[in-house]
Amino acid sequence: MTEAEARAARSAATLAVIRRMEAALAAGSNDMATHFHEDFRWRGNFGCGVKEGLAAFRRNWQLPLRAAFTDRRYLTEHMFADGAWAAAFGAIEATHSGPFMGIAPTGRRVRIPYMDIWRVEDGRIRDNPVFVDFAAVLHQLGRDVFAGEGWEAFDRGTRIPPAPATEEP
């Protein structure tokens, strides 16, 4: 087997691990040890936190997410792998059914955008840097964390973007 063929095989095996894990999450499985390494680390962006180990991931991420958002649909837009690493982006569509960031349940359907990166070791996920767009979710629930100062105002033309004094637009 050539080096390129070995890398392609490793990439395919990595994707298979991730797809099994995503299917289990979508099915509401509680058996995450099948998919996650005993030394698993989940590294979220600000507002999501860092979870050291599977127990912390379940207690401080998976279960609170399930409590806050029910009737979840996982919509992965694209997934790819390179050797032991895989990445995906997409969204979870769900109903806001429990407390979330201090907001009481609204019953609204929301879209939770995410980007996940995983490193697979010994057939299970060992490392998981992730970005979950909680600012977008909060906006859908009526809370603008940017207080009207988000740069979307530049895109709409309702605010003029600043530029360094030494550069032309």
Q: Is residue 168 part of a domain?
A: no
Q: Which H or E run contains 25?
A: helix 3-26
From CA 56, how far away is CA 58, in angstroms rounded?
A: 5
Please report, for the domain that includes residue 31, its CATH number: 3.10.450.50
Q: Is residue 96 part of a domain?
A: yes
Q: Is residue 80 part of a domain?
A: yes
User: Residue 120 is encoded by which pair of tokens?
Assistant: 């697979």
- What does 123-167 look like in DSSP terms, one character per residue? TEEEEEEEEE-HHHHHHHTT--TTTT-STHHHHHTSSPPP--TTS
Note down the domain range covering 22. Answer: 3-156
Q: Is residue 39 part of a domain?
A: yes
User: Number of folded domains in the chain?
Assistant: 1
| Whether the predicted model's global pTM rises above the 0.85 cut | yes
Q: Is residue 162 part of a domain?
A: no
Q: Is residue 21 part of a domain?
A: yes
Spell out the per-residue pLDDT of the chain, length 169, in tens.
Answer: 899 999 999 999 999 999 999 999 888 888 889 999 999 999 999 999 999 999 999 999 999 999 999 999 999 999 999 999 999 999 999 999 999 999 999 999 999 999 999 999 999 999 999 999 999 999 999 999 999 899 999 999 999 999 998 866 6
